[in-house]
Chains A and B, each alone.
Chain A
Amino acid sequence: MKDRLPLYIFLLFLIIFLLGVLLGEPRDVFQKGVTICLSCIGIN
């Protein structure tokens, strides 16, 4: 069990990642990433 712990953790986060992809979260990251949030960097 302990030998395979990194594999299980990787698979758990892979499932979480794929769930996020299926829910369209990369689009949300994209929308925030392509907009300059001036207040987010201390300019407002």
Chain B
Amino acid sequence: MERFRRFIQFISAFVANSRLWITPSNPIYTGPIKQICFPGLNCYSCPAAISSCPLGALQNVLASLKMNLQLGKPGLGLYILGSLGMMGAVVGRAPCAWFCPFGLFQDILYKLVPVPKLPFWRPLAWGRYVFLFLFVIILPVFVLDAAGFGQTWFCKFICPAGTLEAGLPLLAIDSGLRSAVGALFFSKLALLMLFIMWSMVNHRPFCRAVCPLGLIFGLFNRVSWLQLRFNRDVCVECHACEIICPTGVSFADGRDDINSTKCIRCMRCFNLCPGGAITVEFSKTRRRSRGEGCTCHQEQG
């Protein structure tokens, strides 16, 4: 299944960035598919991107919220929230593992760069809440300019995916933009370098410590149609699931729920577990175990 997931990740990254004819006079795609929010962090200012980033779109809506309300215009982000919520209700945070191009980028760095791997400091996971509530919601809504518009704080000051997928390619194809590069861009470039180096020693550090989109999907993990279940009674306590988990979910020792907001539903634990203690459930009554058909009503530990 791991090879299949990798295949889907590459296909997804290609589909999201399938505009191949790029010219300086027409640097980004302007066709109708840009109305669709891609379920992953994929900057819509990327020259190859054909869809929109839900996080960027959400920030733009929130930054214009006060002005839209004053003018009586619709623009509450219902379309974006609905898109994210429908995806989350079905598969929870699975898009992070299966679709997100920036997740794939981190996976490749971690796997291919032969440097010693380090443990991830777990409290950093709380950073996701800070970035979601402060940089995506509070600052864009409440810090406004004289005209009453906010800024896309996360995109502007944090997002390394935007620097990688949009900032650097746009500077490469449009020499006129290079004179506009200043301290802000270099600080974002430094952040990107930090995450690149961090990804070599920790698996998916951006997803684990920063990504607000991953947190939004992760909040659905416990109530989504797709559920993982852990049966402690058949666990052989080999802790292979914790070692293999790219986001460090520690459910075997009880520190985390198996459907915690950290879980990206990559299914590596499900595939690896020698005792079959991890099952995948698509509803409350029918459950699929690895290597067998559906079983019914097994009580979980």
Please tell me if the beta carbons of B80 and A25 are within 8 angstroms of each other in the complex. Answer: yes
**Chain B positions within 8 Å of A10 at CB level:** 85-86, 89-90, 225
Within 8 A of B (CB), among A4-43: 5-7, 9-10, 12-21, 23-30, 32-34, 36-43
CB-nearest residue of chain A relative to B188?
Answer: A42
Interface: B57 (CB within 8 A): yes
Would A6 and B61 be within 8 Å (CB), given that A20-B79, A30-B34, A32-B56 are in contact?
Answer: no
**Chain B positions within 8 Å of A37 at CB level:** 45, 152, 155
Please tell me if the beta carbons of B35 and A33 are within 8 angstroms of each other in the complex. Answer: yes
Stretch at the interface among B96-104, B176-184, B198-206, B263-271: B176-184
**Chain B positions within 8 Å of A44 at CB level:** 180, 182, 184
Please tell me if the beta carbons of B152 and A40 are within 8 angstroms of each other in the complex. Answer: yes
CB-nearest residue of chain A relative to B226?
Answer: A6
Interface: B162 (CB within 8 A): yes
Interface: B17 (CB within 8 A): no
Question: Quick one: which of B27, B52, B163, B188 has the most chain A CB within 10 A?
Answer: B52
Within 8 A of A (CB), among B17-44: 27-30, 32, 34-37, 43-44
Would A20 and B35 be within 8 Å (CB), given that A34-B28, A41-B45 are in contact?
Answer: no
Number of A-B contacts (CB under 8 A): 154
Within 8 A of A (CB), among B69-92: 74-86, 88-90
Cross-chain contact of A14 among B57, B86, B171 (Cβ < 8 A): B86
Would A40 and B155 be within 8 Å (CB), given that A13-B86, A14-B86, A33-B52 are in contact?
Answer: yes
Please tell me if the beta carbons of A43 and B86 are within 8 angstroms of each other in the complex. Answer: no
Interface: B156 (CB within 8 A): yes
Please tell me if the beta carbons of A41 and B166 are within 8 angstroms of each other in the complex. Answer: yes
Please tell me if the beta carbons of A40 and B45 are within 8 angstroms of each other in the complex. Answer: yes
Cross-chain contact of A6 among B27, B155, B163, B224 (Cβ < 8 A): B224
- A interface residues (Cβ-Cβ under 8 A, vs B): 2-3, 5-7, 9-10, 12-21, 23-30, 32-34, 36-44
CB-CB nearest 6 A-B residue pairs:
A17-B82, A13-B85, A20-B79, A20-B78, A23-B74, A25-B79
- B interface residues (Cβ-Cβ under 8 A, vs A): 27-30, 32, 34-37, 43-45, 51-52, 56-57, 60-61, 74-86, 88-90, 151-152, 155-157, 159, 162-163, 166-167, 170-171, 177, 180-182, 184-185, 187-188, 220, 223-225, 283-285
